[in-house]
Amino acid sequence: MPTRAAGSDSGIQPGSALSIGDLANAAETKPVTIRYYERMGLLPVPPRTSSNYRAYSEVHLHRLRFIRRCRDLGFTLDQVEDLLQLSSDEHRDCTEVDRLAAAHLQAVEIKIADLTRLAEQLRQISRSCRGRRTIANCRIIEALSPL
């Protein structure tokens, strides 16, 4: 926190809290994103220092890393919220988690298929444009133009 030891690049002192910058670095994200997650309700509001700085604990770091991991895997914030909820209920059956992950995987696979088709169309369009031409007889422009 507002007591950075020389040579310490994380700013974490034994037993002391994390500043938002430290938390951001530890979770490989940015302070502005953390504030956003707090506003969205994904991260609990942390205690403050006397100078009104946020003071985070390892619990926050753990939770933020979970959120970032989910985001990196493409889950929406709504889905992340669901996963957080599910993960906090230890006695709960985990088929819901299973279902969420499977649905998301399917959505990603569909997106891949869409993009693959799109790429093929683009290749076809580009393939028809060879050498130096003018716009007047540009095959790409032609392909983009309606009948």
Which positions lie near a copy of itself, rule CB under 8 A?
61-62, 65-66, 69-70, 73-74, 83, 86-95, 97-98, 101-102, 104-105, 108-109, 111-112, 115-116, 118-119, 121-123, 125-126, 129, 132-136, 138, 140-141, 144-146
CB of 8 to a copy of itself, least distance (A): 21
Asked if 50 interacts with DNA (CB under 7 A), we say: yes
Cβ neighbours for 2, distance < 8 A, ≥ 6 positions apart: 19, 49, 51, 53
- Residue 113 has, within 13 A of its CA and on its CB side, a CA count of 6
Asked if 10 interacts with DNA (CB under 7 A), we say: no
Task: Check if the beta carbon of residue 10 is closer than 8 Å to that of residue 49.
Answer: no
Asked if 61 interacts with DNA (CB under 7 A), we say: no
Residue 56 is classified by DSSP as B
Q: Which two tokens stand for residue 130?
A: 């060879």
Residue 92 binds: one of DNA, a copy of itself, none (C-beta under 5 to 8 A by kind): a copy of itself
Query: Distance between alpha carbon 98 and the CA centroid of its chain, in Å?
Result: 20
Residue 82 binds: one of a copy of itself, DNA, none (C-beta under 5 to 8 A by kind): none
